[in-house]
Every structure is written in C-alpha cells, then in structure tokens.
C-alpha cells in the first residue's frame, strides 16, 4: 500500500513544486513505483513532468468534482516508474465545488482508495494556500513534507504551517505527521542561511531532510525542458542532492 506524502507550504516561491517533482522522480529512479498528483491549479508539476497542459482531456479536477475514477486520469510519464495525475487552471474552481458537499474533506482520500495499492509512494503537490484542496491532500496523507528557504520569514511561516498540520490531524486525520522539512535554494556561504539552519536544527533537528538542496541553475531550468533535474543533467549537484534526499525520505516513511 502506498505511502502518501503531501508537499505543502502556504508561501509561494519556496521550491515546493520543484521539490515534489524531483523527489517523485528520484523515488522512481530508486526503483519505487510513484504516482504524483498535481493539486496546484497552476499545473507546474504537470508541465515539469513533461505533460503539456493544453493537451489534457481529464485532470484531477474531474476526479474531485465529477466523480471520474482516478485510474482513468493517470498518465504514464517518460521517466522511470513515475505516473502522473495532471491538472490545469480548471482546478481553481474545485475549492468552491468542494465546499458544497458533505464530508468533502475526504474526497481525494476516497478517490485514492481504488488505486493506491498499485504504488509505493503517492506524492501530492499542494497549492500555495491552506484551502480545501490542501485540506483534502492532508486528510489523505500519511505525512507532510515542508519545503522552505533559509529566510526568517520562512521560519514564521513554518510555525503557522505546523499549527495547521496539527489542526488537520485533530479534525480529519489522526495519523498525520510532519515527515520532513526540506531546505531549498540553500547557500551555505551566506550568514543568514547559517543562522536559519541553526534555528531549525535547534527546534526541528529530527525533521530536517538531508541534504539541503543547493541553489542551482540546472534545477531552475529543468522545468523549462519538461523534466526533473536528474534527466536534464544527472551530474548536477542538485540532481545528486534530490536523489540523496529521496533516500532519506524513504527511510522515514
């Protein structure tokens, strides 16, 4: 049965989608069967996995709002062991749709029940907000990964997100845990990065995924080629770091 992991951060621009795509691809490279669900209406995880959004006939929106079976929406990507449930901007209307239904917090969880036995991991890329889509993701998940940059504002956002995870745990998913905190766009030469890492190690040492992901041009440009960084340049430091980070994640959940 698959371990379901949501990548969440209410702050945009922290490397959330980049990390979801690259961790999912890295788990596939390690031999695990992986399903990635793009739950962000921007659809960046979809295009980052090489699937053009304009060509989509069915998306996760159809699963959540029109009761389309999840297996009918799955796309096999060109990357090792990686399948995708794509999205596009139509998903933006799902927040309103979900509010209209009773127990709508469990819509994604119920849809996943029919197919999760086919995979080792399900990676969910959440939107950069704490609305009904993110609640659905957390209600369905075994764990949450929080990607964040080494900035003091990010520390404040982390505290708020920890509180949110606790509320979801109390109300909708009693087994939900924060599996890991993933540091992105890391520059160890910056004093600020060292200070923030010091704070994180002091308060969340057991949650930090290793290694942190270094700032890298190759990591940033890989989505423009519709591929994870390992397939763009496997010798790149970021590709190696994501692979090692995926191993650490797999050891935790």
What is the domain-level CATH number for residue 187?
3.40.50.300
pLDDT value at position 84? 98
pLDDT at 157 over 90: no
Task: Count CB-CB contacts under 10 A for residue 47.
Answer: 20
Domain extent at residue 20: 3-252
Which of 131-135, 138-142, 189-193, 215-219 comes out lowest in average pLDDT? 189-193
Q: Is the pLDDT of residue 192 over 80?
A: no
Smallest CA-to-CA distance from 184 within 137, 148, 141, 139 is with 148
Mean pLDDT of 138-166: 89
What's the structural domain count of the chain? Answer: 1
Confidence of residue 55 (pLDDT cuts 50, 70, 90): confident
What is the average pLDDT value for the chain, to the nearest integer? Answer: 93
State the pLDDT at residue 155.
79
pLDDT at 13 over 90: no
Cα(56)–Cα(59) distance, integer angstroms: 7
CA angle 41, 248, 160 (to 5 degrees): 50
């Amino acid at each position: 049965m698959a371990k379901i992991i949501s990548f969440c951060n209410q702050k945009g621009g922290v490397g959330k989608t980049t990390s979801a795509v690259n961790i999912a691809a890295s788990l596939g490279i390690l031999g695990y069967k992986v399903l990635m669900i793009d739950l962000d209406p921007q659809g960046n995880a979809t295009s980052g996995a090489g699937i053009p959004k304009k060509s989509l006939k069915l998306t996760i929106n159809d699963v959540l709002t029109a009761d389309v079976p999840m297996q009918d929406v799955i796309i096999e990507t060109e990357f090792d062991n990686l399948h995708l449930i794509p999205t596009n901007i139509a998903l933006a209307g799902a927040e309103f749709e979900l509010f209209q239904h009773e127990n709508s917090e469990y819509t994604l969880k119920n849809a996943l029940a029919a197919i999760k036995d086919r995979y080792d991991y399900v990676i969910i890329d959440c939107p950069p907000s704490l609305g009904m889509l993110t609640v659905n993701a957390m209600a369905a998940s075994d764990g949450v990964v929080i990607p964040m940059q080494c900035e003091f504002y990010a520390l404040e956002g982390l505290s708020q997100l920890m509180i949110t995870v606790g509320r979801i745990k109390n109300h909708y998913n009693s087994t939900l845990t924060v599996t890991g905190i993933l540091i992105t766009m890391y520059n160890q030469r910056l004093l600020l990065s060292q200070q923030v890492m010091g704070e994180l190690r002091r308060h969340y040492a057991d949650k930090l995924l290793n290694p942190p992901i270094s700032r890298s041009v190759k990591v940033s440009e890989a989505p423009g080629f519709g591929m994870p960084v390992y397939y763009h340049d496997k010798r790149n430091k970021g590709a190696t770091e994501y692979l090692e980070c995926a191993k650490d994640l797999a050891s935790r959940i």
